[in-house]
């Protein structure tokens, strides 16, 4: 009796994977099944990195999350179809012996069916189960197709994340260095941080809106780390908008909007991360180097009031850097009490 009902959990498994494939690979977002897998795997990896004090372990998030997702999709589909065929004695029989297939034989049959190998050692003698075999084969083809659809955009997005990280690292690194190098050593000046980066920022923003789980991916080297350099860029754009006197460079608002959008998808994706639960607004940036370079800046009190209106964005960027295992002073040099006292004197 119990065996005859196994088609129910089997059907649920197959349907759950199909829905997750569609949501993750076609619709915008992250399927529920994928989200659970990502959170579990990423949580274990994060604890291992924190307990061992080895930030480099986070760089394994990409292969582990991709492998974990593909493995879960395959295993659940395989097991689901096995339970469906096993639920009816005699649904599958040996091609030569004619004996009902055992559970292991059903598992073997489903394996080569969904992988579209098409071996004939085990057959379905009745029309209904023959049709269901065809459905399982089509399901396996869809699984393979969606797996490719899942992996290829991830690889492309990883390349774009690394491209922007490397650009910002070489242009800086760090918020203050980004501004100084752009203002003093670039033929387009500060516009190189706004208009020039806008197409790449737009693509990354759209990619992370479609695939928010990308925020769980981390790079091994500092020069490639978007979770370090994007907060640095955000802080640099806020300094340009709120601290520099004169007209803002063209494209500043669009660039800042993209950074804000990326930080919001990070917040939604990493809502359970300790860095977000304990998110704090970082201290104001130190503008001493910019003043020494001759840039015309507003007084600190006026700039601090501007930063207060963007506290939520700065808290998200701070959490992003912490989630990647970075300190805030690696993204932007913070103002200290000594700096404030020196200016007052």
Phi, psi of 288, deg, nearest 5: -60, -45
Domain end (from 147, 182, 199): 147
Max Cα separation, the chain?
97
194 and 338 share one domain? yes
84 and 170 share one domain? no
Low-confidence ranges of the chain (pLDDT < 50): 341-342, 344-345
271 and 173 share one domain? yes
Domain that holds residue 206: 154-344
- Given this model, what pLDDT does residue 28 score? 67
Nearest-angstrom CA–CA distance, 114 and 136:
6
Domain count, the chain: 2
132 and 160 share one domain? no
- Given this model, what pLDDT does residue 339 score? 53
DSSP-derived secondary structure letter, 232:
H
pTM: 0.84
44 and 142 share one domain? yes
304 and 160 share one domain? yes
- Given this model, what pLDDT does residue 156 score? 87
Domain end (from 130, 147, 164): 147
159 and 139 share one domain? no
Phi, psi of 122, deg, nearest 5: -125, 140
In terms of Cβ atoms closer than 10 Å to its own Cβ (0-12, 13-18, 19+), residue 37 is buried
- Given this model, what pLDDT does residue 244 score? 92
Phi, psi of 94, deg, nearest 5: -70, 140
- Given this model, what pLDDT does residue 96 score? 83
Quote the Cα angle for 219-152-258, to 5°.
60
- 20, 33 in Cβ contact below 8 A? yes
Nearest-angstrom CA–CA distance, 80 and 75:
8
Instruction: List, for residues 239-261, the tens digit of each pLDDT value.
Output: 999 999 988 888 899 999 999 99
15 and 98 share one domain? yes
Q: Can you give 50-116 as a three-state secondary structure string?
A: HHHCCHHHHHHHHHHHHHHHHHHHHHHHHHHHHHHHHCCCCCCEECCCCCECCHHHHHHHHHHHHCC
132 and 175 share one domain? no
- Given this model, what pLDDT does residue 345 score? 46
Instruction: List, for residues 7-33, the tens digit of each pLDDT value.
Output: 999 999 999 999 999 988 887 678 899
304 and 198 share one domain? yes
51 and 198 share one domain? no
- Given this model, what pLDDT does residue 344 score? 44
182 and 262 share one domain? yes
- Given this model, what pLDDT does residue 11 score? 96
How far lies 263's CA from each of 92, 227, 233, in Å? 53, 10, 12
- Who contacts 35 (Cβ-Cβ below 8 Å, separation ≥6)? 213
Task: For the chain, count helices (H), then strands (E).
Answer: 14, 2
Domain end (from 147, 175, 196): 147
Which residue bears the tokens 């950074």? 259
């Amino acid at each position: 009796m119990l065996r005859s009902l196994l088609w129910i959990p089997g059907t649920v498994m197959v349907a759950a994977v199909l829905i997750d494939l569609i949501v993750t690979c076609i619709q915008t977002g992250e399927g529920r099944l994928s989200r659970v897998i990502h959170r579990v795997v990423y949580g274990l990896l994060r604890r291992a990195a924190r307990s061992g004090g080895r930030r480099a372990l986070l760089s394994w998030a990409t292969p582990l999350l991709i492998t974990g997702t593909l493995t879960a999709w395959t295993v659940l589909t395989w097991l689901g179809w096995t339970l469906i065929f096993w639920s009816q004695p005699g649904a599958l029989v040996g091609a030569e012996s004619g004996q009902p297939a055992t559970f292991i034989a059903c598992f073997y049959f489903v394996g080569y069916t969904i992988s579209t190998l098409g071996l004939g050692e085990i057959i379905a003698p009745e029309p209904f189960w023959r049709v269901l075999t065809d459905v399982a084969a089509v399901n396996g083809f869809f699984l393979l197709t969606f797996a490719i659809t899942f992996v290829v955009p991830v690889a492309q997005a990883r390349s774009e994340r690394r491209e922007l990280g490397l650009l910002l690292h070489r242009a800086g690194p760090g918020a203050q260095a980004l501004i100084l190098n752009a203002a003093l050593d670039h033929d387009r000046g500060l516009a190189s941080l706004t208009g020039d980066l806008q197409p790449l920022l737009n693509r990354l923003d759209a990619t992370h809106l479609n695939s928010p789980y990308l925020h769980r991916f981390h790079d091994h080297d500092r020069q490639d780390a978007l979770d370090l350099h994007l907060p640095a860029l955000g802080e640099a754009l806020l300094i340009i908008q709120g601290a520099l006197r004169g007209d803002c460079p063209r494209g500043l608002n669009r660039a800042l909007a993209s950074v804000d959008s990326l930080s919001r998808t990070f917040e939604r994706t990493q809502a359970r991360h300790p860095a977000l639960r304990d998110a704090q607004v970082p201290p104001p940036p130190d503008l001493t180097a910019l003043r020494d370079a001759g840039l015309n800046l507003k007084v600190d009190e006026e700039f601090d009031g501007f930063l207060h209106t963007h506290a939520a964005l700065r808290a998200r960027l701070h959490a992003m850097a912490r989630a990647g295992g970075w300190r805030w002073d690696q993204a932007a040099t913070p103002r200290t009490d000594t700096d404030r006292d020196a200016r007052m004197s």
